[in-house]
Amino acid sequence: MARIVGGLTTSHVPAIGGAIARGLQAEPYWKPFFDGFLPVHQWLDEVKPDVAVVFYNDHGLNFFLDKMPTFAVGAAPEYRNADEGWGIPTSAPFHGQQDLSWHIIEHLVAREFDITTCQEMLVDHAFTLPMKLFWPNGVPVTVVPVCINTVQFPLPSARRCYQLGQAVGEAVRSWDGDRKVVVIGTGGLSHQLDGERAGFINKPFDLKFMESLVDDPEWATQYSIHELVEKTGTQGVELLMWLATRGAVAGRVRKVHTNYHIPISNTAAGMMALEALA
C-alpha cells in the first residue's frame, strides 16, 4: 500500500518564476524567501517521495470564468505549463501518475464528492513554481493535480476543503501502488491583489493558521469563506489548499520546517513542511 510521507505547503507568487529565471535567489529581497526551502530540500533528499498529489488553484489558464469546477482532479498522462510564471522558462511537462488519479477519482465519487475529471489539463504558476521551489534541480516525482476553485465565487467552504483532503488521503493510503506520496498545497497566505484593500496582509492570522496546522488542523474550518476573505484578503483564501493538504496527511505530524516572510510581491509568503508520524 502507498504511504503518505508528509505535507508541503507554500505560496506561489508568479514573480518567483522571474527570480528563479534570473538567478536572484541570493539577492536581499529574495534570500529570506528562498532560504526557507533549504531544510526542505534536505528532507526531500532523505525521504525521496515517488509521487506528489498537488492541491492548487488554477488562475484562468485551464479553467476560465465560463466553466469553473469547484473541485477538479487531473487524470492526464502529462501536464504542460502554458507559462504564467512571469519569466520562468517553459518547464518540461510533469508526468502524471494516472493509476493513482483514477483511484482518487473513484474514491472521491464514492465518498459523494462531485468532482470534474480532467484527462487533459494545463498547469499554471500555482503548480509549476512550487515544484521548482521544492525540487530546483528537476522534478523526480510523478504527479496528481487537484484543483480547488478560489477564483470565482461561490467557493467551497473551509470544512469541505478539509474533508476533500481527508478523502484524498484515504484514497492514497488505499492505493496498492506501494509508493511514497508527498502531498503539496500551494497558495496564500494573506494577500489581496485588487480593490480597496489591495496589499492587505494579516500576519497574526497567518501565524495562528500555520501553528494550527500542526496540532489543531480543523481550527480554520470554523470560519466561513466570507470571514476568511475578511481575515486574509480575496486571494488569501488560497489557504484552502493548505487545509486540504493537512486533511490528506491526517494524524499527528512533526514540523520539519516553516518560513514566513513579508512581502513577496503583494503576498505574505509562507512555507511549511510537515512529516507524517506513523
Report which secondary-structure segment, H or E, holds 229: helix 225-232
Closest contact distance (angstroms) between CB of 7 and ligand DHB is 19
Closest contact distance (angstroms) between CB of 263 and ligand DHB is 8
Exactly one of 2, 30, 59, 206 binds ligand DHB (CB under 6 A); which one? 59
Phi-psi category of residue 144: left, alpha or beta, with phi > 0 → left and psi -120 to 50 → alpha:
beta
Closest contact distance (angstroms) between CB of 108 and ligand DHB is 25
Nearer to ligand DHB, 5 or 158 (CB): 158
Tell how many helices (H) and how many strands (E) occur in the chain. Answer: 9, 11
Exactly one of 14, 145, 165, 247 binds ligand DHB (CB under 6 A); which one? 14
Q: Is 101 in the site for ligand DHB (CB under 6 A)?
A: no
Nearer to ligand DHB, 51 or 126 (CB): 126
Crossing angle for the helix pair 125-134 and 38-47, to the nearest 10 degrees? 80
CA dihedral for 56, 189, 244, 6, sign (positive or negative): positive
Closest CA to 77 of 109, 121, 116, 108: 121
Closest CA to 67 of 116, 104, 102, 112: 116
Instruction: Pick the stretch among 7-15, 29-37, 72-80, 100-108 that binds ligand DHB (CB under 6 A).
Output: 7-15
Q: Which of residues 187-206 bind ligand DHB (CB under 6 A)?
A: 187, 191, 193
Report which secondary-structure segment, H or E, holds 225: helix 225-232
d(CA 13, CA 269): 8
Nearer to ligand DHB, 105 or 268 (CB): 268
Q: Which residue is nearest to ligand DHB (CB)?
A: 265
Check 12, 59, 107, 125 and give the catalytic one.
125
Q: Give the per-residue contact string, 245-274, with ligand DHB (x = CB under 6 A; - = no).
A: --------------------xxx-------
Check 103, 107, 191, 261 and give the catalytic one.
191
Q: Is 235 in the site for ligand DHB (CB under 6 A)?
A: yes
- Examine the residue annotation and report whether 191 is marked as an active-site residue of this protein: yes
Number of chain residues interacting with ligand DHB (CB under 6 A): 13
| CA-to-CA dists, residue 86 to 214, 219, 239, 275, angstroms | 33, 34, 22, 31
Nearer to ligand DHB, 107 or 191 (CB): 191
Q: Is 10 in the site for ligand DHB (CB under 6 A)?
A: no
- Report residue 236 as a C-alpha cell: 488569501
Nearer to ligand DHB, 18 or 39 (CB): 18
- The SS3 assignment for 21 reads helix
Task: List, in order, residues 6 or more apart from 197 with CB less than 8 Å away.
Answer: 233, 234
- Report residue 160 as a C-alpha cell: 469541505
**Residues taking part in catalysis:** 125, 191
Question: Which spans of this chain sit near ligand DHB (rule: CB under 6 A)?
Answer: 12-15, 59, 187, 191, 193, 235, 238, 265-267
